[in-house]
């Protein structure tokens, strides 16, 4: 890499200077293998995923036993195609769960117009399995850009902000909406995002409407949600692809996340191997330097 | 004069939300919030148009004057209008799935837009591995601790890593050795993420919140000084 | 939701030092020291290096929109643009938010005007690129095509941070990054030469301008943090007392007060 002929480099220097192209090639190969050789995965379900699952189960049970007015779930689809690999399986797992338990839901996004579009396709696909119909079992509000104080308006008068659904139908003509007076009828907001969109729901909407919030986030965002879970502001989380795979396991399905975990498994192992190799080289070169220094003295 | 008007408007705007928050109960101020929310939504929508106008202005100029890379700009403008027109036609014609306009839309969206976006994101997988390999060296005790934590967290979230210590779960009900079931790699991962990471994140949130409060106060009271704001 | 008494009192407690120290600083009372922040000091070095190489600099505001991070990013942009204008250097500013775009353009224009080089300002160098990964792809393309000598990443970044930083590293640019989002810090530290972490980003405006008002605000923030730390320790102590002596009036008192 520095113009040095490889044969002159000591083994510990070569370990520290593996050509990035080789690293990329190994990543490519390892990620591709499970596409052709399915690797079954069984995972330990983390408590944060279980809490989210239990929340949906609780809503379903309450609705079934008619404990108060019917409660709904709002799917805030604040994700774009770029984070599809992680957020799409999370969305699919949640929609599967909601359809299976008969919990009606609404889809919307306040951040990205693509989210409701992609969620709609997932919902339509899964709806066939459970004989669910648009307008009766779910509704799509589409994209409504909101920031900060707009949430206060949204919470206080949802119909002032949402006048039509995603298909252009006046919202009050959608059959499902007859049972929804406002945002306070939603027991859970499940925000799927690859950015900090959950913060708007937690800090601006939740204090007004008092619903629970669950999140499906890319793995990189996951650590920042932990304090919110601890404080009770977020009830549960699907963290990255593994979170979605754990949720699928709870649902006893082998979906996109479970199939993708094979690739993630191998890629993570390669990262660990690369770290170990680099550090073996580093430690060996440090020892060599110390030895040389001693000899010079 | 312009500066004073901006200061007054900024102050009044911030004062409204501050009073709405601090005054108890539903006051006359609270009743306006829905209407003001609609106004801010409309302003946001208008501002969205600014971006489109800027794109057309910038890239249109490049095409008209045949500046370097003008063909890229032409491609952008064509893509913008094609996607816009196809979407509008699909929406307002209430086309059914299977119609020509739906097929064109699916081609543009599913077969072009989505893969393009996902491809750029997928670069991260490669970059993360190479960046981690290049920079993670155990140069000190703290680095060693960090490395160990990183390896445990990575192992704890993949099936293979969890398998390594899954056998310890068998000791859950053992009266003497129940503690062994707690030192599985996935439970250690959860512990690190929830408590150690959570505490650090919370500290960052506190600091950032106070920083945000200070910045908000400075903007609200028009105290923000800096090469840019001084002139507004 | 409206403020409880506790929220009101805490808001006043945290706001008072900030306002107080701003007023003190404006009145010229007391000198306040800010420790050197390596990343901000490196801005001059980076621009100087770009001038020697005769290549442009790139300033990315990331995914910042019209928010506190975005406005801080614009304030720093103003400083960098002024330096670039002073040395007749081209500065390319890709902006992701249509709300922030006109503000960024105005900031760069004003910076050039301040040093009397408005004729060198090119509006097409402030570029609007919407979308997260289209933004990343666009900026990477600009870095490679223009062979930028220095890159500045200030603002709110998400997953595209590593893509941008690695691309800058590949073209050999000197890189300075700053973001309040702690999740992206590891990527910037890995790939950039200087990184500004967390609240140093908010302190940047004060640091670069040495404006007394800004420095006073920084001092007030530090006092606020000390108050918060003290409160946290007190709550921890009372929490432990509650755990071991739940029926003691004394130990419930503070929590009852805070939850009122």
How far away is chain C from the Cα of A290, in angstroms, using its nearest Cα?
26
Question: How confident is the model at residue B227, as a pLDDT?
Answer: 41
Continuous segment of H or E residues that includes residue C191: helix C185-191
| Helices marked H in chain A | 11-16, 20-36, 47-64, 84-101, 114-130, 150-156, 158-161, 198-200, 206-209, 222-230, 240-250, 256-296
- Token output for B201: 């994140």
What is the 3 state secondary structure string of C196-240? EECHHHHHHHHHHHCCHHHHHHHHHHHHHHHHHHHHHHHHHHHHH
What is the 3 state secondary structure string of chain B? CHHHHHHHHHHHHHHHHHHHHHCCCCCHHHHCHHHHHHHHHHHHHHHHHHHHHHHHHHHHHHHHCCCCCHHHHHHHHHHHHHHHHHHHHHHHCCCCCCCHHHHHHHHHHHHHHHHHHHHHHHHHHHHHHHHHHHHCCCCCHHHHHHHHHHHHHHHHCCHHHHHHHHHHHHHCCCCCCHHHHHHCHHHHHHHHHHHHHHHHHHHHHHHHHHHHHHHHHHHHCCCCCCCCHHHC
Question: C180 in helix, strand or coil?
Answer: coil
Nearest CB neighbour to B159, from listed A18, A43, A150: A43
Nearest CB neighbour to A82, from listed C132, C181, C182: C132
Residues C48 and C144 in one domain: yes
Chain C interface includes B40 (CB < 8 A): no
Instruction: Compute CA distances B60 → B80, B86, C98, whole Å.
Output: 12, 21, 18
Is residue A100 within 8 A of residue A251, CB to CB? The reply is yes
Q: Give me the mean pLDDT over the C235-239 stretch.
A: 83
Instruction: Quote the CA–CA distance of A179 and C43 in Å, as a whole number.
Output: 58
Contacts of C96 (CB under 8 A, 6+ apart): C61, C62, C63, C64, C65, C128, C129, C130, C131, C132, C135
Residues C178 and C95 in one domain: yes
Residues C146 and C252 in one domain: no
Backbone angles phi, psi at B166, to 5 degrees: -65, -30
Tens of pLDDT, residues C114-173? 999 999 998 889 988 888 888 999 999 999 999 999 999 999 998 889 999 999 988 999
Residue C204 within a domain: yes
Residue C147 within a domain: yes
Q: What is the mean pLDDT of each run of 10 residues along chain B (232 residues)?
A: 87 88 78 79 76 83 85 90 91 81 88 87 88 89 92 93 90 87 92 92 84 84 60 47
Nearest CB neighbour to B130, from listed A24, A153, A222: A24
Q: How many residues make up chain A in this entry?
A: 297
| Pairing outcome for strands C150-156 and C174-179 | parallel
Is residue A190 within 8 A of residue A212, CB to CB? The reply is no
Instruction: Quote the CA–CA distance of C203 and B226 in Å, as a whole number.
Output: 12
Residue C17 within a domain: no
Instruction: Quote the CA–CA distance of B112 and B110 in Å, as a whole number.
Output: 6
Question: Residue ranges of chain A with pLDDT lower than 50?
Answer: 1-4
Question: How confident is the model at residue B230, as a pLDDT?
Answer: 52
Contacts of A201 (CB under 8 A, 6+ apart): A76, A151, A189, A191, A213
- Token output for B193: 């993420």
Chain A, residues 231-270, CB within 8 A of chain C, namely: none
Q: Give first-to-last CA distance, chain A, whole Å.
A: 32
Residues C252 and C143 in one domain: no
CB contact under 8 A, C63 and A80: no
Instruction: Quote the CA–CA distance of A4 and A10 in Å, as a whole number.
Output: 11
CB contact under 8 A, B207 and C199: yes
Question: How confident is the model at residue B228, as a pLDDT?
Answer: 47
Is residue B178 within 8 A of residue B171, CB to CB? The reply is yes
Residues C53 and C100 in one domain: yes
Question: C246 in helix, strand or coil?
Answer: coil
Nearest CB neighbour to C78, from listed B21, B127, B226: B226
Backbone angles phi, psi at B93, to 5 degrees: -85, -5
Contacts of B71 (CB under 8 A, 6+ apart): none
Share of chain C above pLDDT 70, in %: 94
CB contact under 8 A, A161 and B41: yes
* Angle of CA points C31, C37, C42, to nearest 5°: 125
Residues C217 and C204 in one domain: no
CB contact under 8 A, C159 and A218: yes
The total domain count for chain C is 2
Is residue A259 within 8 A of residue A34, CB to CB? The reply is yes
Nearest CB neighbour to B212, from listed C2, C68, C127: C68
**Would you say the pTM of this structure is higher than 0.80?**
yes
Residues C123 and C56 in one domain: yes
Residues C130 and C154 in one domain: yes
Is residue C80 within 8 A of residue C110, CB to CB? The reply is no
Give chain A positions within 8 Å (CB) of B94: 168
| CA-based nearest residue in chain B for residue C1 | B21
How far away is chain A from the Cα of B180, in angstroms, using its nearest Cα?
16
Chain A interface includes C75 (CB < 8 A): no
| CA-based nearest residue in chain B for residue A260 | B158
Tens of pLDDT, residues C69-110? 888 899 899 999 999 999 999 999 999 988 888 899 999 999
Residues C118 and C240 in one domain: no
Backbone angles phi, psi at C257, to 5 degrees: -65, -45
| CA-based nearest residue in chain B for residue A199 | B205
Domain span at residue C170 reads: 38-209
- Token output for B33: 């919030």
Backbone angles phi, psi at C172, to 5 degrees: 80, 20
Dihedral, CA of residue C101, residue C104, residue C105 and residue C106, to nearest 10: 120
Q: Identify the CA nearest to A83 among candidates B232, B129, B145, C131.
A: C131
How far away is chain C from the Cα of B215, in angstroms, using its nearest Cα?
7
Give chain B positions within 8 Å (CB) of C180: 208, 211
Contacts of C69 (CB under 8 A, 6+ apart): C155, C156, C179, C180, C201
Nearest CB neighbour to C182, from listed B25, B61, B204: B204
How far away is chain B from the Cα of A64, in angstroms, using its nearest Cα?
33
Residues C186 and C98 in one domain: yes
Q: Identify the CA nearest to B225 among candidates A254, C157, C218.
A: C218
How far away is chain A from the Cα of B65, in angstroms, using its nearest Cα?
33
CATH number at residue C70: 3.40.50
Chain C interface includes B214 (CB < 8 A): yes
Is residue B74 within 8 A of residue B82, CB to CB? The reply is no
Question: How confident is the model at residue C248, as a pLDDT?
Answer: 65
Question: How confident is the model at residue A249, as a pLDDT?
Answer: 96
Q: In what order do the strands lie in the sheet with A105-109?
A: A138-143, A105-109, A72-78, A186-193, A212-217, A236-239
Contacts of A290 (CB under 8 A, 6+ apart): none
Nearest CB neighbour to B132, from listed A153, A242, A275: A275
The dihedral sign for the CA sequence B195, B199, B200, B202: positive
The dihedral sign for the CA sequence A73, A76, A79, A81: positive
Chain A interface includes B23 (CB < 8 A): no
Q: Give first-to-last CA distance, chain C, whole Å.
A: 14
Tens of pLDDT, residues C202-232? 788 778 877 787 788 888 989 999 998 998 8
Q: What residue segments make up the domains of chain B, in order of their start?
A: 95-135, 140-232
CB contact under 8 A, A269 and B202: no
Instruction: Quote the CA–CA distance of C54 and C128 in Å, as a whole number.
Output: 25
Give chain A positions within 8 Å (CB) of C131: 80
Residue among C190, C196, C219, C226 with most chain B CBs within 10 A, to mutate: C190
Residues C85 and C128 in one domain: yes
Chain C interface includes A276 (CB < 8 A): no
Instruction: Quote the CA–CA distance of C38 and C12 in Å, as a whole number.
Output: 33
Residues C89 and C199 in one domain: yes
Tens of pLDDT, residues C10-19? 889 999 999 8
Instruction: Quote the CA–CA distance of C155 and C64 in Å, as a whole number.
Output: 6
Question: How confident is the model at residue C254, as a pLDDT?
Answer: 65
């Amino acid at each position: 890499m520095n113009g040095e002929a490889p044969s002159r480099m000591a083994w510990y220097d070569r370990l520290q200077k593996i050509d990035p192209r080789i690293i990329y090639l190994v990543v490519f190969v390892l990620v591709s293998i499970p596409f052709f050789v399915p690797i079954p995965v069984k995972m330990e379900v983390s408590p944060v995923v279980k809490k989210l699952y239990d929340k949906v189960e609780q809503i379903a049970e309450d609705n079934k036993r008619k404990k108060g007015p019917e409660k709904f779930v709002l799917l805030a689809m604040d994700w774009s195609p770029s984070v599809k690999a992680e957020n799409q399986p999370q969305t699919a797992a949640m929609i599967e769960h909601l359809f299976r338990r008969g919990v009606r839901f609404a889809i919307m996004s306040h951040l990205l117009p693509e989210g409701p579009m992609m969620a709609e396709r997932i919902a339509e696909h899964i709806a066939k399995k459970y004989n669910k119909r648009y307008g009766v079992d779910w509704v799509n509000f589409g994209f409504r850009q909101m920031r900060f104080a707009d949430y206060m308006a949204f919470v206080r008068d949802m119909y002032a902000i949402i006048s039509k659904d995603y298909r252009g139908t006046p919202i009050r003509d959608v059959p499902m909406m007859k049972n929804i007076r406002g945002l306070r009828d939603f027991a859970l907001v499940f925000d799927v995002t690859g950015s900090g969109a959950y913060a708007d729901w937690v800090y601006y909407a939740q204090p007004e409407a008092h619903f629970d919030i669950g999140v499906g986030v890319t793995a990189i965002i996951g650590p920042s949600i932990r304090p919110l879970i601890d404080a009770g502001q977020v009830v549960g989380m699907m963290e990255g692809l593994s979170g979605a795979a754990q949720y699928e396991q709870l649902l006893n399905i082998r979906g996109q996340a479970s199939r993708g975990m094979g690739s993630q498994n191998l890629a993570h192992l390669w990262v660990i191997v690369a770290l170990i190799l680099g550090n073996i080289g580093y430690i060996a070169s440090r020892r060599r330097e110390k030895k040389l220094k001693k000899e010079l003295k | 004069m312009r500066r004073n008007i901006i200061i007054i408007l900024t102050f009044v705007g911030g004062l409204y939300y501050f009073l709405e928050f601090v005054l108890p109960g539903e006051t006359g101020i609270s009743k306006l919030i829905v209407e003001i929310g609609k106004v801010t939504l409309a302003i946001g929508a208008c501002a969205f148009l600014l971006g489109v106008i800027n794109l057309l202005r910038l890239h249109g100029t490049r095409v008209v004057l045949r500046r370097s890379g003008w063909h890229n700009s032409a491609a952008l403008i064509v893509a913008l209008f094609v996607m816009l027109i196809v979407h509008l036609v699909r929406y307002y014609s209430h086309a059914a799935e299977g119609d020509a306009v739906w097929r064109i839309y699916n081609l543009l969206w599913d077969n072009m837009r989505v893969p393009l976006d996902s491809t750029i994101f997928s670069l991260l997988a490669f970059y993360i591995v190479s960046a981690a390999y290049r920079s993670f060296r155990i140069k000190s005790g703290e680095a060693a601790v960090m490395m160990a934590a990183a390896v445990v967290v990575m192992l704890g979230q993949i099936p293979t890593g969890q398998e390594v210590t899954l056998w310890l779960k068998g000791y859950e009900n053992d009266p003497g050795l129940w503690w062994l079931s707690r030192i599985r790699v996935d439970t250690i991962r959860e512990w690190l993420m929830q408590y150690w990471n959570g505490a650090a994140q919370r500290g960052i949130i506190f600091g950032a919140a106070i920083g945000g409060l200070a910045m908000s106060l400075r903007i609200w009271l028009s105290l923000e000084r800096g090469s840019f704001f001084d002139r507004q | 939701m409206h403020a409880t008494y506790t929220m009101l009192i805490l808001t006043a407690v945290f706001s008072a030092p900030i306002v107080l120290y701003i007023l003190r600083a404006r009145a010229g009372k007391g000198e306040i020291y800010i420790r050197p922040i390596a990343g901000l000091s490196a801005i001059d070095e980076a621009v100087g290096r770009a001038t020697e190489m005769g290549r442009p600099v790139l300033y990315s505001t990331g995914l910042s929109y019209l928010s506190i991070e975005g406005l801080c990013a614009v304030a720093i942009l103003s400083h960098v643009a002024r330096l670039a204008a002073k040395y007749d250097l081209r500065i390319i500013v890709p902006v992701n938010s249509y709300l922030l775009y006109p503000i960024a353009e105005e900031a760069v224009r004003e910076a050039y005007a301040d040093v009397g080089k408005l004729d060198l300002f090119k509006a097409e160098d402030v570029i609007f690129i919407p979308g997260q990964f289209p933004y990343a792809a666009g900026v990477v393309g600009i870095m490679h095509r223009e062979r930028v000598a220095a890159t500045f990443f200030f603002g709110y970044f998400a997953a595209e941070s590593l893509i941008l930083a690695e691309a800058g590293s590949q073209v050999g640019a000197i890189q300075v990054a700053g973001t309040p989002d702690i999740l992206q810090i590891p990527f910037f530290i890995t790939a950039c030469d200087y990184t500004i972490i967390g609240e140093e980003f908010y302190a940047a405006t004060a640091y670069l301008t040495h404006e007394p008002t800004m420095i006073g605000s920084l001092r007030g923030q530090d006092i606020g943090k000390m108050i918060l730390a003290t409160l946290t320790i007190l709550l921890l102590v009372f929490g432990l007392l509650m755990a071991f002596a739940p029926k003691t009036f004394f130990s419930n008192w503070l929590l009852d007060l805070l939850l009122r």
